[in-house]
Amino acid sequence: MHRAVHHVLEHGRIFSDPLAVRILGADAKAAIRDAENNPSQRMLRLFIAVRTRFAEDALTAAVARGVRQLVVLGAGLDTYAYRNTFGEKLHVFEVDHPATQEWKRQRLAEVAIPVPDTLTFAPVDFERESLADGLASAGFDPAQQTFFTWLGVVPYLTEQAVYSTLEFIAQLPRGAHVVFDYANPAASGPDRNHVNLAHEALATRVASIGEAFKSCFETEALHTKLQALGFREIEDLGPASIRERYFAKRGGSSTERGGHIIRATTV
């Protein structure tokens, strides 16, 4: 919904995703009206646009370096596979719960978005099977250099589950890239700011619908763990870095505490 609203209200200035509008159908109009009536949603909406732009820019660079597989973890209504400009050069695997994937496929059919031959759905019920087994069943080739996008998922997982997934990615023999987002623990006292307040409001909202946040990470500790797992190149954008790169003319605080987008590679 946030990608669709950004495409309409901000004219996709950070990231254009017309398929997000199509896949929502009539729900897109309601989401746009709600966003117009609730300006407080704009910060989260722009963060989501930025993380998608960052991930897909990184993917484009990685394909030039030899990536031939993309795995979209917790794909939800992600639309990249249906906009893939690399054609047969890049095969996409969408990983999600079987029920969620079935719902998505119904939505795609209802709005006439075709499923390309370069996409494979990989239904994985993590209570019954591992990511490795689910990908293997879908025909994933671990001998190919692979890019993973993992957007809007990590905060809802336990720290153990996050590091287990990162370990699987790091151990792929031909190398791997991953982009994901995470949040720092909330600051207190004089360091508490509007970023913290916005995150706290979001945490309260998602908890109220049964999807509570389960993890947050200190940036330095996360980088140390990534390096121990075998990731060699790490690029991490916090709030100030995001503003500098994507909103150069906007003012604001210089804090790097808050929501982050991170790219890590083993090659």
For residues 17 and 146, state if they share a domain: no
For residues 30 and 134, state if they share a domain: no
Cα R_g (the chain), whole angstroms: 18
Check: CB of residue 261 under 8 Å from CB of residue 240.
no
pLDDT tens per residue, range 245-265 = 999 866 666 789 999 999 999
Domain containing residue 184: 42-265
What are φ and ψ of residue 111, in 5° steps? -110, 15
Per-residue pLDDT for 190 more than 80?
no
Residue-level pLDDT at 5: 98
Mean pLDDT of 9-30: 96
Per-residue pLDDT for 196 more than 60?
no
Residue-level pLDDT at 152: 95
pLDDT tens per residue, range 219-237 = 999 999 999 999 999 999 9
Q: Is the pTM of this model over 0.95?
A: no
Mean pLDDT of 130-134: 96
- CA distance linking residue 157 with residue 134, whole number of Å: 18
Distance of CA 97 to the CA centre of its chain: 16
Domain count, the chain: 2
Q: Token pair of 44, please?
A: 């989260």
User: What is the amino acid identity at position 112?
Assistant: A
For residues 33 and 68, state if they share a domain: no
For residues 49 and 33, state if they share a domain: no
Mean pLDDT of 15-42: 95
pLDDT tens per residue, range 72-115 = 999 999 999 999 999 999 999 999 999 999 999 999 999 999 99
Confidence band for 205, pLDDT divided at 50, 70 and 90: low
Mean pLDDT of 16-27: 95
Per-residue pLDDT for 9 more than 60?
yes
Longest dimension (CA), the chain: 54
Residue 77's domain is classified under what CATH number? 3.40.50.150
- The share of the chain scoring above pLDDT 70, in percent, equals 89
Per-residue pLDDT for 192 more than 70?
no
